[in-house]
Structure 1
Amino acid sequence: FGEEILQETNYYIENGLRHIRPYNFTFTTHAKGRWVGKKLIDIFKNEFSSSPVEYYINAIQNGKITVNNKIPSANTIVRDNDVIRNTVHRHEPPVTANPIQIIKMDDDIVVINKPASIPVHPCGRYRHNSVVFMLARDYGLQNLHTIHRLDRLTSGILIFARTLQKAQELEKQVRDRQIEKQYVCRVDGEFPTETIDCKEPIDVVSHKLGVCRVSPKGKSCQTIFQRLSYNGKTSLVKCIPLTGRMHQIRVHLQWLGYPIVNDPIYNHEAWGPNKGKAGHIDKDVDSIVLTLLQFHRHDNVIPKQVDEIKNLDSVDELDKDNSSSSSQNCENISQVRQHQDNKSESHITTEKIQASEDVNQSPMVSPLENNVHQDCVECRLTYKDPTPEEMVLWLHALKYKGPDWEFEAKLPEWSLDN
């Protein structure tokens, strides 16, 4: 992306959060096979129900929705290979305002300590509030090659190559398993003092929602765990993943019975009273996923007008098509937050409901008063700010070590036993 894209909006800091001012953005997609032969308005009505049908009729009439760069009618029949564009007033969720720490930067490489809450690449509702956009805008670092990724809520070491040659060199080291990775996390309970070598295979049980579990059908993987400390309630654990499966550390810890303290997925009662320890669950995985989804509510979404908030739980296919990273990068199930208030109330955000993203999105207050679009559904909504606790998973990429290099990040505050 060029300077024009970087300057299409700006940001402001409020209450420790980095907010992106809403901006116009055009989603582009080729017609899906299931769309061919259907009316344009029916496609938007049935598949993009984050806005009422009246909004899409107006958008078509006003030229915000086009087919092959021409203004269609609501009853236009979509053909194979049609190019559909939808210009929207895009609202991004806030992320932490904590700065990105540059650990090393030279002509070949950039190494940072990624703050929790920021996705690596644009995905879902996140674009300008992503690491690659921030590095380009705030540090002038563009055209970086990603060597590995971290989930949005995970903090720690993140490595980029600045040249193709360096990227190929580091990627070969990854393939040849020449890179040693060390993570730290805080788990429930008193973790055993002896080193544990977990080799349980992991299977992705829901690709759309990004949920995994230990299963004989899964792919082989291995994680070594070692307790670093115990404070009487929780344990600080060093984790060395020898393979790189999705959610590997988190799933293995769940299997062992010591889930990460604030893990929104794998430390959840939806898995049963034992929370999935040793694979003991009292219902099928599909039911577990549905149970997690039921915890998502729009209680934190407040309409500014007495307009409908219709079907905010929709899949934004145009959004997904414009994402430059896989659904895993942004964590399809990106948040299930547990609030302790005599009972546990959990919220979940998934790629399936990216049309509304986090129920914890920021309140649209005075900085946006001059940037309100009357036909924008989200401009009529306000959102509660996420709390600091809701923006971090207690899992941190502490150290990455190669054949002739080593990078280490500072320990996070939650790693302190007090």
Structure 2
Amino acid sequence: MNASSFIPPMVRGVSASRLYLPTIKPAPISVFEYLCMQFSHITQQEWQQRFNDAQIYSETGEILTLHSPYIAHTQIFYYRFLEHEPHVPFKHHILFENDDLLVVDKPHFLTMSPTGQYVQETLLVRLKNETGNELLTPIHRLDRETAGVVMFSKQAESRSLYQQLFAERKVQKTYFAIAPFCAELKFPLEMKVRMEKGNPFYTMKIVDGEPNSQTQIELTEHNDAWAIYKLDPHTGKQHQLRLHLSSLGIPIKNDPFYPSLNHKDKDDFSAPLQLLAKHLVFTDPVTKQKMHFSSRHELTL
């Protein structure tokens, strides 16, 4: 077996991560020592357990031990697991499935893919555990705080065809949001602004310059305090809808980022962001059929 042909097995819905071992002086004695140095936020006891559970592989498929030597310019495989992970008490629903696609209704508070403090409690790992399909890959993404329709590719052969749909803006996405009612604003209106990374790094900001984000906004219903807005984004910038509405003076209800940061405890699920990816419409590049998917979730005043 050569290095390029070995693929570690999926474990508890988690695919192995690949790590290149660079030249270091003085060189670590063992792979174990290097991992403890490289990932200081993970305890030595956790790494010891992963080695004891035979979850660290060489690039040729050899199961590494605590004493396996560090060999520069090789690769190893390891798995991302967390000793303590907040449980997200909301369920996803599979809306549609064929040979190429899995379309899912994502709940609020569920992160798309492993990151930070979430691995098992992510939509991708839940789906891999549920389906046994290690090839599942998100074709597009929703924020952790956003609920609604999201698509996954089931196989590598057709994946690029669906990714191209989004790259070429051939997917019609419709969102709904609850935000303050403002009688001074006249709808429908179109937001076209330039967005760049903000501070902190996980936020976005509006800056001067050529617009790179565009959203059509309509008012659908309102009372004296709140309104439901229909949002048709023509671009797909991170936090685009949240920042566009906030910049109009009507930030989405329960938004912890815009217009100002208001971090909540990781196990506080009391006030979901009132943003819903309601509809997804496109022509399937494989079957040539018109596809229309809608979330079961509803936003109500």
Question: Is the structural similarity TM-score above 0.5?
Answer: yes
1:120 to 112, 119, 122: 112
2:82 to 83, 90, 97: 90
Give the helix-richer structure, 1 or 2.
1
- Rounded Cα–Cα distance in structure 1 between residues aligned with 2:18 and 2:119: 15
Quote the residue 1:15 is aligned against: none
Q: Deviations over 1:14-42 (max 9, x none)?
A: xxxxxxxxxxx998744578x65487999
User: Shift of the alpha carbon at 1:220?
Assistant: 1.2
Greater displacement, 89-98 / 42-51: 42-51
- Rounded Cα–Cα distance in structure 2 between residues aligned with 1:86 and 1:172: 31
Which ranges in structure 1 are unaligned for 5 or more consecutive residues?
9-24, 269-291, 296-335, 338-358, 361-385
Quote the residue 2:268 is aligned against: 387
- Rounded Cα–Cα distance in structure 2 between residues aligned with 1:7 and 1:148: 20
Change (3 A) 1:80 1:209: farther
Are the aligned partners of 1:184 and 1:238 in contact in 2 as well (CA < 8 Å)? Answer: yes
- SS state of the match for residue 411, structure 1? coil
- Rounded Cα–Cα distance in structure 1 between residues aligned with 2:205 and 2:175: 20
- Rounded Cα–Cα distance in structure 1 between residues aligned with 2:46 and 2:279: 52
Change (3 A) 1:216 1:150: same
User: Shift of the alpha carbon at 1:87?
Assistant: 8.7
Are the aligned partners of 2:192 and 2:211 in contact in 1 as well (CA < 8 Å)? Answer: no
- Rounded Cα–Cα distance in structure 1 between residues aligned with 2:13 and 2:171: 37
Alignment size in residue pairs: 278
Is 2:89 the partner of 1:205?
no
Which ranges in structure 2 are unaligned for 5 or more consecutive residues?
1-6, 59-63, 284-289
- Rounded Cα–Cα distance in structure 2 between residues aligned with 1:221 and 1:59: 43
2:249 to 240, 246, 257: 257
1:227 to 219, 222, 229: 219
Return the TM-score normalized by structure 1: 0.55
Are the aligned partners of 2:204 and 2:238 in contact in 1 as well (CA < 8 Å)? Answer: yes
Q: Percent identity, aligned pairs only?
A: 20
1:154 to 113, 138, 146: 146
Q: Deviations over 1:40-88 (max 9, x none)?
A: 999889875647xxx649978x978x9x85657xxx9x89647688899
- SS state of the match for residue 193, structure 2? coil
Change (3 A) 1:95 1:196: farther
- Rounded Cα–Cα distance in structure 1 between residues aligned with 2:86 and 2:119: 11
CA RMSD in angstroms, aligned pairs only? 4.0
2:293 to 401, 407, 417: 407
Are the aligned partners of 2:13 and 2:126 in contact in 1 as well (CA < 8 Å)? Answer: no
Quote the residue 2:286 is aligned against: none
The structure, 1 or 2, with the larger RCO (C-alpha pairs under 8 Å, 6+ apart) is 1
- Rounded Cα–Cα distance in structure 1 between residues aligned with 2:46 and 2:236: 47
User: Shift of the alpha carbon at 1:214?
Assistant: 0.5
Change (3 A) 1:241 1:89: closer
